[in-house]
């Protein structure tokens, strides 16, 4: 699997390739605000994993495997964002999003997807959830987080 930084590179390469743009490592480095050396290392890793074809002084091309992975990553990110919207999670949203991206299994993401699709089909559920979450809960499952010293 790809690290989160390699995921960013792959998604960016995919989007540029879909626009028909020629992709150069120096331009990619600039656009992602990363040092050229780190960008080249990332490209070499993705080339080794067969997500892209990277040759020095040649435009970068994305493989079919890379396209499939990029599509999955984009859809996963959109799913997580929609799920966090449903939960009305605003505090530490980016950290929560990154944690979910890194640690949820594909099976767990499929369950999240079923829930999100269910909520889409029955939008009144969101309204009921919002009313419910505004009230003081009488029944609790989660114990309070102990304070750190």
Domain range for 53 is 4-62
In the predicted structure, residue 136 carries a pLDDT above the cut 80: no
Residue 141 maps to a domain: no
Look at residues 40, 62, 84 and tell me which one is the last residue of a structural domain. Answer: 62
Residue 90 maps to a domain: yes
Domain count, the chain: 2
Instruction: Provide DSSP, 77-138.
Output: HHHHHHHHHHTT--TTHHHHHHHHHHH--HHHHHHHHHHHHHHHH-THHHHHHHHHHHSPPS
Which pLDDT band, with edges at 50, 70 and 90, does 24 fall under?
A: very high
Residue 9 maps to a domain: yes
Whether residue 126 is found in the same domain as residue 87: yes
Structure tokens at 55: 């040759």
Q: What average pLDDT does range 8-24 have in this prediction?
A: 95
pLDDT tens-digit readout, 56-111: 889 999 999 999 999 999 999 999 999 999 988 888 999 999 999 989 999 999 99
Domain harbouring 48, CATH code: 1.10.10.10
């Amino acid at each position: 699997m790809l690290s989160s930084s390699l995921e960013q590179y792959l998604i960016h390469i995919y989007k540029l390739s879909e626009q028909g743009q020629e992709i150069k490592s120096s331009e990619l480095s600039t656009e992602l605000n990363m040092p050229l050396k780190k960008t080249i290392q990332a490209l070499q890793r993705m080339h080794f994993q067969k997500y892209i074809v990277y040759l020095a002084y040649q435009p970068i091309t994305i493989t079919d495997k890379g396209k499939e992975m990029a599509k999955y990553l984009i859809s996963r990110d959109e799913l997580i964002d929609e799920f966090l919207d449903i939960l009305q999670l605003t505090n530490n949203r980016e950290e929560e999003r990154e944690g979910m991206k890194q640690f949820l299994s594909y099976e767990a993401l499929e369950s999240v997807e079923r829930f999100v699709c269910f909520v889409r089909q029955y939008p009144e559920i969101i309204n009921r959830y919002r009313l419910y979450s505004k009230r003081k809960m009488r029944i609790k499952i989660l114990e309070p987080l102990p304070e750190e010293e």
